[in-house]
Each structure stands twice: as C-alpha cells, then as structure tokens.
Amino acid sequence: MKLRSDCISCLMERAAYECEMIFGDEEEARIGVLKEISCLLCSHPGESVTPAFMGTERERILKMRSGLTDPHADVKMRSNEVAKALLPVAVEYFTTHSDGVEALVRIAAAANSMEYGVKGYAYDDDAFRTEFMKVLNERLNWNRDSVLSAISKHDKVLYLTDNAGEVFFDAFVVKKLAEMGKKVVVSPKSGAIINDATVTDWREAAAYVDVPSTVDIVPAASCIGVSREDASEEFLHILNDDEYLVIAKGMGNYEAISEFEQDYRQRLIYILRAKCMPVARSIGVNRGELVAKLV
C-alpha cells in the first residue's frame, strides 16, 4: 500500500502526539523533531514508499533526537497490564464458542483494537476493559470459509505480531494453535519501534499464558511492518517457505506486505482493525471494521 494524502497528515499528527509524550513542554525540541520529519516527508514521493516505511523513519528520528531506546515503554507497559486483566474474558469466549478456530481469529482481531495515536481513531483503556466482550462479538469482515480452511490445512504457521498489550492475546492464540499440533514460529520486533511488541514483550506474554516451548521466536527487524531489505535470512527463509501460513497482525504489516503479497497468495491472512480510511479503502472494508482476509 503506497502512501496516500491522508497518510501525510496522520504521520505528522502521530509525530506531534509522540513529541508531546516524549518531550513534554520542551518546545524547541518538539519543533526541531517536527521540522526534521516534515523534511523527511517532502523528500520521498508518495508513490514510491509505504506508510510503514515513513512511520519507521519517523520513529528513528524520534529515538535519535530523544536518546531513548524505547520511547513508548510506559505506554506498552500499561497496555500489557490491561491485556493481562482481560485475558480471562478471551479464555471464556474461546471455551464457550461453537468453533474454536473462529474464536481464535476473532480474539486476534479484537485485540488489534489496542492502539494509540492514530488520526481519527479513539482508543481508551478503560472503555476497552468494559467493552471487550462486545468487541469480541462485533461484526467481522472476512472470507470465513477461506480463512478457516487455510488455517486447517496448514501445519506450519508464521505469526507476525503487532502491538504490545494485544501480544498477550496473540500468545493465547498461538498456544491454542500449537496445542492443535501446528508448528508455530512467532515474529515480534527485534527492537523497539512505536508500541509494537518486541522479543521481550513476547517472552513476557508467552510465559504469562504458558505457551509451549515448541513455539520458536524468529524476530522481524526493528521496523513497522515487514521490510524484506532489513529482515534476517532466517526470517526470510520461513516467510518464503510455501509450507507456512503467514498470519499478519495489524495495519503496519498490511501496509508493508500488501506491496508484495502476490508472492504469498493462498497462504497469507491479514487480521486487523481498519482504523484509518486509506487502509480501509485499500482492503475494501468500512473504516473501523474488524478484518480477517486470506489473500
């Protein structure tokens, strides 16, 4: 998915949100960062880059200017605590659902609601706590039979995580996939980038829900979505193995992978909430909908 005009204002609004979070009242520092990010946006034609690429570059500027290795550490910690408190709801939903695999898809999609700083998307921890069961039963825009069939027939799964917080629900989903006899490889980020789950976040979540030791960790690079240029050979080997079903969580993975998704047809599933209009239009769904789509 290439950069759209709406993406530019969203990237800048997210930058302003993060500058306030990181620098507080340090006006000079905030202005300096926003100027540099503005120059970055002006230097790349929209038709040549993805929003995920621009978001990654924005985050690198913020980290360099702030000197922080993980500017979102506090937000991620808070999200993780919210997720821990809500896990019993997901477990109950799974155990009472008539179709266990469908329940897992819905849990994974609902968890992608946990996101901060997206233009036009309002998320609140307290509201999510009270509405989580409602979110689990929300309308899911998906090609149901194709998605369930793909999960059923593939014995190997590469699971690309997205945000901290939701990674605890991902850990539960991965645990159940492993208990079904599937070989699962999980790919969190190798280093901090926005509020995405890192290897450290995954390990905390995996220990919390008791994910089997048979589940391997092969991190993606420290970037939003997937960059085949930055990824390790080990990650690319698994990604390109036709035996693996790829489950890609979140908008960042969609923004990046949709540029080369033709290489993974019939074995790539996007699971996300379409929080912005450019992503919703690109997928062909309504903004705000939960989505599970087999390419």
CATH number at residue 99: 3.40.50.10880
Same domain for 16 and 56, yes or no, is yes
Average pLDDT rounded to a whole number, residues 195-224: 97
Same domain for 134 and 22, yes or no, is no
Is the pTM for the entire model greater than 0.85? yes
Q: Which of 39-43, 44-48, 62-66, 152-156 has the lowest mean pLDDT?
A: 44-48
Q: Which of 66, 99, 116 is the last residue of a domain?
A: 66
**Is residue 6 pLDDT above 80, yes or no?**
yes
**Is residue 142 pLDDT above 90, yes or no?**
yes
Same domain for 168 and 260, yes or no, is yes
Percent of residues, the chain, with pLDDT higher than 90: 88
Same domain for 94 and 165, yes or no, is yes
What backbone phi and psi angles, to 5 degrees, belong to 79?
A: -60, -40
- Per-residue pLDDT, 114: 85
Same domain for 148 and 274, yes or no, is yes
Q: Provide the 3-class DSSP secondary structure of residue 280.
A: helix
pLDDT band at 126 (very low <50, low <70, confident <90, very high): confident
Q: Do 17 and 62 contact (CB within 8 A), yes or no?
A: no
Same domain for 282 and 154, yes or no, is yes
Question: What DSSP element (H or E) covers 268?
Answer: strand 268-273
pLDDT, tens digit, 9 for 90 and up, residues 224-235: 999 999 999 999
What's the chain's average pLDDT?
94
Q: Which of 35, 66, 97 is the last residue of a domain?
A: 66
Q: Which of 19, 50, 66 is the last residue of a domain?
A: 66
Structure tokens, 216: 């391997």
Same domain for 116 and 35, yes or no, is no
Same domain for 207 and 231, yes or no, is yes
Please tell me the distance from the alpha carbon of residue 12 to that of residue 147, in angstroms, as a whole number: 35
Percent of residues, the chain, with pLDDT higher than 70: 97
Same domain for 192 and 62, yes or no, is no
Same domain for 262 and 195, yes or no, is yes
Query: What range does the domain containing 32 cover?
Result: 5-66
Same domain for 187 and 81, yes or no, is yes
Structural domains counted in the chain: 2
Which of the two residues, 193 and 117, has the higher pLDDT score? 193
- Per-residue pLDDT, 120: 65
Same domain for 48 and 97, yes or no, is no
- Per-residue pLDDT, 289: 96
